Amino acid sequence: MFRTRARLSDGREIVYYDERPGRVPVPDPRGLPPAEPLSETRRDPLTGDPVTITAHRNARTFLPPAEECPLCPGRPASEIPDPGYDVAVFENRFPSYAAAAPPVPATVDGVPLFERARGAGRCEVVCFTDDHGTALARLPVPRVRTVVDAWADRTAELSAVPGIEQVYVFENRGVEIGVTLHHPHGQIYGYPFVAPRTRQMLATAAAHGGDLFGDVLAAERAGPRVVHAGEHWTAYVPAAARWPVEVHLTPHRHVPDLAALDAPERDELAAVYRDLLRRLDALYGTPLPYVAGWHQAPVREGRDLLRLHLELFSVRRAPDKIKYLAGSESGMAAWINDVPPEDAAARLRAVTAG
């Protein structure tokens, strides 16, 4: 993998990850003004969870026609000036968190109970390919390996940025999920806090008193919900799956994040992950809407407690039905799943990853 850095016309960074050397970046001709993100976090006094307020993101690009896609290379309005690329990563033009977020008062309405902070951090867009009409599942394995290396490199780099407490790598796919661009891409968030879900997992792992993630993996590998078992990775439907389609992908070795994976683990991950995505698309014979999120340990705590793992899920519960988060899930976080995890695993094992 060959990394090349450049700057867009408004000062945002873009990084190219190529499979061959020799890139000379093309200057961005757009002459954009510097971005002025308005981002802040407020603490919910009832739960302690941070809530991010981003007034500027209502103006972000929303499902443009293919000929106006900002992730296709070399076009007048493209975020990527070069005429082609393998994998490209750039700072989001409409970030949820940014180093340039302005200062805010320490409280809302002057009430100490309502804590407030500026939304410092970083948000990046990861373009998996310059081919608008494909998907991560249809890329060759070497390209998926380049994507994995880019994820790992960005994780290491963002983890070194002052103020970033956790790095979250994820992909939203499908209009049912809420994507705003169809071009194959994912995102990376550098949070200025440890995410609520991670806080909960760390507390549970600490109370367990041993290697919680290792114990869960061992139990799942011995059970009926394994979808794929490899030398370094196992994919399984968790025993307490929340979603009608949900798969976790976990390394056999304890590593805190993507940057800690060695070369054999990355090689196998590229092949296993592509196979898993193809199985998902084959499940109903149509591209499956999904969220794929890499849970990584925080930068400064819990790195011996939380093991890197992927949680991939879909809102589609049948070929023509969507699971909507209604009163119990949205209001109380009390999940109800209509599909037994054992049935979901059997169906995923049975399909052919074409």
Enzyme catalytic residues: 185
Rg (CA), the chain: 20
Answer positive or negative: Cα dihedral of 140, 141, 144, 150: negative
3-state secondary structure at position 300: coil
- 125 strand-pairing partners: 90, 187
CA gap 305, 204 in Å, rounded = 9
Q: Name 78's bridge partners.
A: none
Helix (H) or strand (E) holding 246: strand 245-251
DSSP 15-43: EEEESSS---PPPP-S-PPPP---EEEEE
- Cα 299 to Cα 120: distance, rounded to the nearest angstrom: 15
CB-based contact 187:150 (threshold 8 Å): no
Burial of 345 (0-12, 13-18, 19+ CB in 10 A): buried
